[in-house]
Structure 1
Amino acid sequence: MVGVSSRFQLPEDDSGFSLAWMLIFVSSKGITVDRSAHRETMTERVMKPIRCFSRLISPQRSAAILKGLGLPVIKGSQHNRIMFSGMKTHWTCLLFGSAATALGAGPDWPQFMGPHRNGSTQAQAIQNDWRNHPPQKLWSLEMGSGFSGPVIKDNHVFLYHRLGRNLHLDCITLDTGKQVWQSTHATQYRDRFGFDDGPRATPAIDGDRIFLMDANGWMRAFHRSDGHLLWEVNPEKHGQVDQGFFGKAPSPLVYGDTVIYIMGGSPESGIVALGVHDGSLIWKTLSEEADYASPVLQQTNGQWWIWAWMRDHVHHIHAATGKVHQSIRWRSSMNAAVNAATPLLLPEGVFLSASYGTGALLLGQSDGNWSPLWSGDQQMSNHYAHCVYHQGYLYGFHGRQEQSPELRCIEAKSGKVAWTQANLGAGSLILADDRLLLMMESGEWIMAEATPDRWSELGRRQILPSGVRASPALAHGIWVAKSPDRLVAYQLGHPLP
């Protein structure tokens, strides 16, 4: 059973009126406000005008109308907007609130590794001078266990975590840290090695839905606006599934009307594609055990393909049908080893890297098939954290997490090492424009230039206690990161004027 604690209601003050919307009906009898329509936070699918026209009212006039309606107005804001769309004698008005004052530019962070599934984001208007203008803490919340990272859509953060015997999916306002709703369901997962019992996979958001997989492999979809359960699928429905070393960790991937899960089942249920609307099976393929890398999408020659790195092979799979085009073996000779860093799609090819003596591999395509361009264990050996790519160079952690890995920069096309920086420890990386943002396992947050010339640190701060393993998120100029029991948000970019 799934329970929902919902506090998603029409805001009564300035703090809640950010990117939410209501439908207002205007007729000859006057203006009425339909509060029941306040259920979505998305706007991109609302406006489909047919035989209607639109006009934009100035912020000043919008503020006056809002005040006259008894609705909240952000003082001094230039972002209050009312847009009218009319048909015959009735008018439908789509009312947008102000972007919250802490929100900056840049895209959302709706899935593991960000908007492009490569650990990179753009246009975040980052403040580079941390000495004179350090990042400002917006909020800090106690959370449960788990390695699942935060995801961000509009002005909301979503986090999947565990408290006691229950898993919680929380929806939190990005700029204030206020909880909007929480959805709860039971779990019986126990880590066989005594590690953290929380979820590993990071959620994926698509439209009004948010998709999850817990450490036991249960696959679920929730409604993004209020947290109610849309569907859930027991992995045993599609095959026999083993827990693996540390539970199920690959994050879900949305392709069209399907959501892809690396389940690691057999027979022929290593990867399953489920319908986003009802969780029905679209296709399933392979009988290989899952590992810890997440799948990625690639478009070549007008078709979409999935790269899925599993226990023994990396597979190239047709996204629409599940047909396996090619399987390439790339793993350690050790049994007690994992493939955990997600493949990166580069202009130079497809990049893979693992530890345990495996090393890096760059695949290139020729005559429709993929083959190695270079490989080696001395160039880049990722353990859990993936690399990021910028202008022909890869930046990542080289070496085992428990053995104090180095941060390294290598040329993507050749694997040539440009520089190495020791004594940083393990962590995760995000590339924001031309800046490297490192969330260290120690709880330190470091910013550096993304340049092949040298290691060039720009600033650092201690923002969390040690033990940070979850991937961070960056959206709208706000950095969100999780430790084993805490979630924090910092203003990194310049707020919108």
Structure 2
Amino acid sequence: MSTTPEIQPSFFKRYMIPIILIDVCIVLSIINRFTNLTSEVLMPQFGVAAQNVLGRGIILLTLGLLLLWLLITRQVGLKPKLWVFGLVALLIGAAAVSVREIENTGDNNYRIRYRWQPTQDQRLAEYQKGNNQIQSSQDEQANSASPTSQALDSNAPRYTDFLGPKRDGVVTGPGLVTDLKQQPPREVWRRPAGGGYASFVIAGGVAVTIEQREENEAVVAYDMASGKDRWVRTYPGHFKEELGGNGPRATPTIAENEVFALGASGLLVSLDLASGQEKWQTNILQDAQATNIQWGMCGAPLVVDNKVIVNPGGSQGHSIVAYDRSTGSKLWSGGSAKAGYASPVLGNLLGQQQVIIFGGENVAGYDLADGTEKWQFPFKTFNGINVGQPLVIDQDRVFITAGYDAGSVMLQIKNENGQWTAQPLWQNKRLKSKMSSAVYLNGFLYGLDDGILACLDAKTGNRVWKSGRYGHGQILLRNDTLVIQAESGELVMVAADPERHRELTKIPVLPGDKTWNAPALMEKWLLLRNHFEAVLLELPTVQVQ
């Protein structure tokens, strides 16, 4: 008696489900990667960050469904299943053992820190072992070209505020050579730095910043000639945020012979510039009875005459607070909007000096004398994340920009019989600066639109061009050159040219790490840092005609 042999299903029928899953994964990944469906249609608030998160989610979901199919299918024997699940368990275990930390960039890409790599504190401690003495004053005097000897000159320029003297990214000085591959800058020193995202301010032969050192926030004066610590003043505190990173954020401010530094959790201190000795301290969040914002206090203290002005935020009339520069006692407060991430700006509006705050809910102008709110314009973004500096243009306009699909607005400021108003001249989404500030030159605005450099006509708001992906970096303007610290750690120079995007040079300076810290540019000295490393460059210069 003959039997009919059992017909085996084809390969496709046996593995139809995983084949379909893989095909769908590939198609969705291609659509997500090469179209703007996610970043501009489905989740415009989060832009490219949403695109990156969704891309990883598609892959992880596919892998999860494949493992589920493998678990329940009869098409695969027990032994191969055990091998696959054993391998998966091994990989997960290896990752858990080897990965110490996963950091996020501005677009939610990952930076992995492995356990065998030295930590920030270990690198810093190793550096300090052989570099605990600064260069002697005799050595400094012998080197007339050193940054220290120039800074000690009473007539020498100083760089005392975040993003330059007006906090608008405009930094005057000699013209810069713009082909740094042909004429590379001289690296004066390079050293490990503590965590955090503050920039430098420079005076008296030192560059001052605030950074995370172990479980302390440390205000540090780097010797400009050698990079070694001139002095360090530490305070207990370690701000941590999964997406925003660890450490303090607000750049200190130098006023004459004093340093004013604000920690991520609200501790404001006044220190002597020469020695680091404390004069006074107060916690601005406790004083205002305010709750800290998601990514911590970021605004650099603004020093005007006898006032130190900060933005703790809160509903109890403490959106803006002025402290006495000499004693730290409170002088006045005003406004009730929550804090943002921009720094206070002193602006001349229609002949009157006002403090302009881009907070978490609005942009507003305050009377310098008593903190009275003169005008305000509502501007809310996702979770109140307003970061870019407000720009005062021609004494009667204020420009602001933010990411998370918020866009930009140019405000017309008017004062009619003592009644101040702010009305939009134009408002659009052609420039969305998520983590940086725009700069203004000759009727045009330049900024990073979700990581891509863009130029806008300041009169109309029309975008002239958009090109050059520099991530969520930072921008300074020297004469007609944009000096960009790209998020990837590259130093880029771009012509401030409304006609077209012209990248002049690009060199790696802080490679392999995200760089959110703003550069500091004093004459030919360029200080760069991120949350791992700091470097001083001497840039080649040219005579400006």
What TM-score does the superposition give when structure 2 sets the normalisation length? 0.70
- What are structure 2's unaligned runs of at least 5 residues? 1-131
Q: Which residue of 1 aligns with 2:62?
A: none
Post-superposition shift, 1:350? 0.7
Q: Select which of 258, 268, 280 maps to 1:209.
A: 258
CA distance in 1, matches of 2:294, 2:145: 53
Q: Select which of 331, 335, 338 maps to 1:286.
A: 335
CA distance in 2, matches of 1:318, 1:300: 11
Q: Which amino acid aligns with 2:521?
A: L
Alpha-carbon distance change, 218 to 454 in structure 1, aligned in 2, over 3 angstroms: same
Q: Is 2:184 aligned against 1:134?
A: yes
Assess if the C-alpha contact under 8 Å between 1:159 and 1:169 holds in 2: yes
Alpha-carbon distance change, 123 to 447 in structure 1, aligned in 2, over 3 angstroms: same
Residues 217-260 of structure 1 show CA distances to partners (whole Å, capped at 9, x for unaligned) of: 11111110100111000235523121211111111111111010
Aligned ranges for residues 49-198 of structure 1 at < 5 Å?
A: 99=150, 107-191=157-241, 193=242, 195-198=244-247
Q: Is 2:490 aligned against 1:444?
A: yes
Q: Which residue of 2 aligns with 1:389?
A: 440
Alpha-carbon distance change, 244 to 169 in structure 1, aligned in 2, over 3 angstroms: same
Q: Which amino acid aligns with 1:453?
A: E
Post-superposition shift, 1:12? 4.7
SS at match of 1:115: coil
CA distance in 1, matches of 2:232, 2:145: 32
Post-superposition shift, 1:302? 4.5
CA distance in 1, matches of 2:471, 2:136: 44
SS at match of 2:319: strand
CA distance in 1, matches of 2:532, 2:181: 28
Q: Which residue of 2 aligns with 1:407?
A: 453
Provide the identity percentage. Answer: 27
**Aligned Cα root-mean-square deviation (Å):** 2.6
Assess if the C-alpha contact under 8 Å between 2:475 and 2:484 holds in 1: yes
Q: Select which of 429, 432, 440 maps to 1:378.
A: 429
SS at match of 1:272: strand
Alpha-carbon distance change, 458 to 323 in structure 1, aligned in 2, over 3 angstroms: same
- What are structure 1's unaligned runs of at least 5 residues? 1-6, 18-72, 80-96, 400-404
Q: Which residue of 2 aligns with 1:363?
A: 411
Q: Is 2:539 aligned against 1:488?
A: no
Assess if the C-alpha contact under 8 Å between 1:478 and 1:493 holds in 2: no
CA distance in 2, matches of 1:188, 1:484: 14
Assess if the C-alpha contact under 8 Å between 2:348 and 2:354 holds in 1: yes
Post-superposition shift, 1:132? 2.1
Q: Which residue of 2 aligns with 1:246?
A: 295
Q: Which amino acid aligns with 2:514?
A: G
Q: Which amino acid aligns with 1:139?
A: W
SS at match of 2:232: strand
Residues 360-409 of structure 1 show CA distances to partners (whole Å, capped at 9, x for unaligned) of: 1111123443333433333211111000111111110012xxxxx21101
* Between structures 1 and 2, the one with greater strand share: 1
Post-superposition shift, 1:180? 1.5
CA distance in 1, matches of 2:201, 2:309: 18
Q: Which residue of 2 aligns with 1:21?
A: none
SS at match of 1:315: strand
Residues 61-82 of structure 1 show CA distances to partners (whole Å, capped at 9, x for unaligned) of: xxxxxxxxxxxx55xx699xxx
* Between structures 1 and 2, the one with greater helix share: 2
Q: Which residue of 2 aligns with 1:36?
A: none
Assess if the C-alpha contact under 8 Å between 1:106 and 1:122 holds in 2: no
Q: Which residue of 2 aligns with 1:330?
A: 379
Assess if the C-alpha contact under 8 Å between 1:107 and 1:121 holds in 2: no
Q: Which amino acid aligns with 1:486?
A: E
Assess if the C-alpha contact under 8 Å between 1:341 and 1:383 holds in 2: yes
Post-superposition shift, 1:175? 3.4
CA distance in 1, matches of 2:470, 2:136: 44
Assess if the C-alpha contact under 8 Å between 1:359 and 1:375 holds in 2: no
SS at match of 1:14: helix
CA distance in 1, matches of 2:446, 2:168: 12
Post-superposition shift, 1:473? 0.5
Q: Select which of 279, 282, 304 maps to 1:233.
A: 282
CA distance in 1, matches of 2:347, 2:244: 34
| Matched residues, number | 405
Post-superposition shift, 1:178? 3.0
CA distance in 2, matches of 1:120, 1:455: 19
Q: Is 2:476 aligned against 1:430?
A: yes
Q: Which has the higher contact order (CA 8 A, sep 6+)?
A: 1
Q: Is 2:397 aligned against 1:272?
A: no
What TM-score does the superposition give when structure 1 sets the normalisation length? 0.76
CA distance in 2, matches of 1:100, 1:367: 42
